[in-house]
Amino acid sequence: MSDQTFYVTSPIYYVNDAPHIGHAYTSLACDVLARFNRLDGKRVMFLTGTDEHGQKVEKAAQAAGIAPKPFVDKVSQNFRDLCRTMNFSNDDFIRTTEARHVKSVQALWTRLAERGEIYLANYGGWYAVSDEAFYGEDEITIRDGKRYGPTGKEVEWVEEPSYFFRLSAWQERLMKFYEEHPDFIAPETRRNEVLSFVRGGLKDLSISRTTFKWGIPVPNDPAHIMYVWIDALTNYITATGFPDESLETYKAFWPADLHLVGKDILRFHTVYWPAFLMAAELPPPRRVFAHGWWTNEGQKISKSLGNVIVPGELVAKYGLDPVRYFLLREVPFGQDGDFSHAAMVRRMNTDLANDLGNLAQRSLSMIQKNCGAAVPAPQALTDADRKLLDDAAALLPMLRQTLAAQAFNRALEGVWQVVGDANRYIDAQAPWALKKTDPARMGTVLYVLAETVRRLAILLQAVMPETMGRLLDQLAVPAEARSFASFAAALTAGAPLPAPQGLFPRYVEPEAAA
Ligand code: ME8
């Protein structure tokens, strides 16, 4: 909430299915921001978890022939395992079936009811279980006698007593909120979508159902089960300790700095959620960023097409850090992107193996061979030396700025600019030739290179924590000197360096290797 804390959340994922690349992507983006802000000295909370109630999950349990609770216990564990597979640094993992969450949702409901924001009536309308969303008549299309909502999911007619939230009364106040907080919704195109949706008028929202049981009962009227979205969204405050607003964690972390979501759930996060919170007299989050959609080799990812990308398989094939790098480098955050084997291999072999990997390997092996395996002592620096070091130093403010705007690809592009400059510097300075003609100058050039690599490694820890950890080991940078507080420090001349090891193996097609 203050400059010294940073609270970032991923969506909580439905436990109807196994995790895939889309889930890994959103949580990865959160992880990189969490790690970056921790390195920058902030107190960080990164929350992820699972959304376990509602009809969609109830149906999935039925289809699996298991009672809902054991079913959600099992599938939720797959999402917990995903955090380990992807090396996520989440500080908490919330499940909506936990007691702390049930208490929090019921408290929020009670606050809304006490403020006259909820009333009982009858609902009649279209509902898509796959989206857990209500749709208006104007959003429905009919094909082969079946009706579909705007996302292409089949809808069914629902008619039953229901509690409503007075969303219609919040239209003006939401518009005012968006105007006063121009950074609340990003990117800009998504902000425009939401603004025009709200400007078009809001209807009261049905927030309870009586025809299924798998969810949180309405306080004082347990025949009603809460709509899964009021339940799910509340997870973000539950994890800070709500309803106990006197808790230190609540005060430190709420309102959240950033909810990262996919574009499919933008409306829930930017219309319903701030309306619920304002109606309950609680502060809304500071920002919601909706990213785009991944396809697989140009095709929509779906179970029925059998082209689901399983994060564990990707990591086994290409390695964890290359996958983390690829997902954030390949596609401008906010736009749709395509996963292809060819693009993945190109990034691995070019950006990682050729550019960054070779830079580190060339520099460190020359030091190993020609400088007695210790950091060389620099002599007077030339303009070229100073330029490279200054450009590397300028990456920290650049990253702070681009990552505060969630522009991961621009952040990485900026870093690779310096990687490229450093490779050109080696070629121009040709330290291998200086070995005979001017060994002192060779030492200076290799010092400048090692120092540049140190800076790059410290900065890239958020994206590739494991590999950059190994690189910092090779530079003999102690654990306590790896945060941004130590960024301006420098390598100590004479410090012994271990033998360098390759960081990024080239990807070789199995048939070419055979
Ligand atoms: O919507 N490309 O859960 P969910 C990119 N429980 N991201 C993708 C993706 C793809 N092809 N597929 C999924 C829910 N995602 C609710 C959320 S939050 C209070 C409740 C990611 O399991 C993306 O982040 O359907 C999307 O928003 C999320 O998974 C949807 O996950």
Q: How far is the CA of 214 from the centre of ligand 1 (A)?
A: 21
Q: Which CATH architecture fits 5-291? A: 3-Layer(aba) Sandwich (3.40)
pLDDT digits (tens, 9 = 90+) for 148-166: 999 899 999 999 999 999 9
What separation in Å is there between the alpha carbon of 24 and the centre of ligand 1?
10
Residues with CB under 6 A from ligand 1: 11-14, 22-23, 25-26, 51, 232-233, 235, 261-262, 264-265, 293-294, 301
* Mutation choice for ligand 1 from 9, 10, 14, 94, CB with most ligand atoms inside 8 A: 14
**Confidence (pLDDT) at 512:** 76
Q: From ligand 1's centre to the CA of 172, what distance in Å?
A: 29
Q: Note the pLDDT tens digit of each residue in 444-503.
A: 999 999 999 999 999 999 999 999 999 999 999 999 999 999 999 999 999 999 999 999
CATH 1.10.730.10 fits 341-486, yes or no: yes
Residue with CA at minimum distance from ligand 1 atom 31: 13
Distance 10 CA to ligand 1 centre (A): 9
Distance from residue 281's CA to the centre of ligand 1 (Å): 28
Query: To test the ligand 1 pocket, which listed residue (10, 26, 95, 237) has its Cβ within 8 A of the most ligand atoms?
Result: 26
Which tokens belong to 256? Answer: 């959240």
Could you list the pLDDT tens digit for every one of the 514 residues in the chain? 446 999 999 999 999 888 999 999 999 999 999 999 999 999 999 999 999 999 999 999 999 999 999 999 999 999 999 999 999 999 999 999 999 999 999 999 999 999 999 999 999 999 999 998 999 888 999 999 999 999 899 999 999 999 999 999 999 999 999 999 999 999 999 999 999 999 999 999 999 999 889 999 999 999 999 999 999 999 999 999 999 999 999 999 999 999 999 999 999 999 999 999 999 999 999 999 999 999 999 999 888 888 999 999 999 999 999 999 999 999 999 999 999 999 999 999 999 999 999 999 999 999 999 999 999 999 999 999 999 999 999 999 999 999 999 999 999 999 999 999 999 999 999 999 999 999 999 999 999 999 999 999 999 999 999 999 999 999 999 999 999 999 999 999 999 999 999 999 999 998 877 6
CB burial readout 54-83, b (16+ within 10 A) else e: bbbbbbbbeeeeeebeebbeebbebbbebb
According to CATH, where is 3.40.50.620 located in the chain?
A: 5-291
C-alpha 364/C-alpha 446 separation (Å) is 8
- Ranges in the chain annotated CATH 1.10.730.10: 341-486
Output the six-digit token pair for 126. 């279209």
Alpha helix (H) ranges present in 371-503? 383-393, 395-404, 408-429, 431-437, 439-460, 465-474
